[in-house]
Amino acid sequence: MNRPGFFHGVAAAAVLGFLASAFIAVFTPFVGIGAVTRLVIPGLALVYILYLFSRNDERTGRITTVVLWSVMTFAMWWLAPPLPFYLLIHAGVVWLVRSLYFYSGVIPSLVDMALTGLSIVTAVWALSRTGSVFLGTWCYFLVQALFTAIPQSVGAKTGPAAAPMANNEFERARRQADAALKQLITQ
């Protein structure tokens, strides 16, 4: 797996923060902050999902994921829920995509969900304190970059020392079972 590193996430956060602030600064005078925000949120989500796809070797389901994301985005655009709910839905979809493509267990996915919640809180805090779209977006994706510290699965011991030992124990138990079975058959 070509899992991204933390510094890749920091660079992606800076780029996405710059894109969001530039897009909002350019288009707000023409269509208003509400419409621009409802365009920027799914745009950033799509770019981030594509970034995640580029950093993962799994090819299965990418088109389906993008199609379902598009259907959800158009449905949310049409239903026009309140902005906080709109943001939560898109953050939830990013979390779901990351959980499906980067984790093989429930525990890492739940830890990632908590990380997503923390990133939303951090972004809202930064945006309310500074009023800067760049800092709010950068803080959101900066906290999201911490997902690289979450293990792919929990509980499975992997490593060069654990595998041969477990294999030797299994082989010894199999040989003992074969010997016991032969002894039962020959008696």
Q: pLDDT per residue over 98-131, tens digit each?
A: 888 888 888 888 998 999 999 999 999 999 999 8
Q: pLDDT per residue over 52-83, tens digit each?
A: 888 887 788 889 889 998 999 899 888 989 98
Of the candidates 168, 170, 175, the one whose C-alpha atom is nearest the C-alpha of residue 183 is 175
Return d(Cα 174, Cα 178) in angstroms, integer.
6
Output the pLDDT for position 140.
Answer: 92
Helical packing angle, 106-130 and 133-144, nearest 10°: 160
- CA dihedral for 9, 11, 12, 17, sign (positive or negative): positive
- The yes-or-no verdict on residue 96 having pLDDT over 70 is yes
Output the pLDDT for position 67.
Answer: 92
Q: pLDDT per residue over 127-146, tens digit each?
A: 999 988 899 999 999 999 88
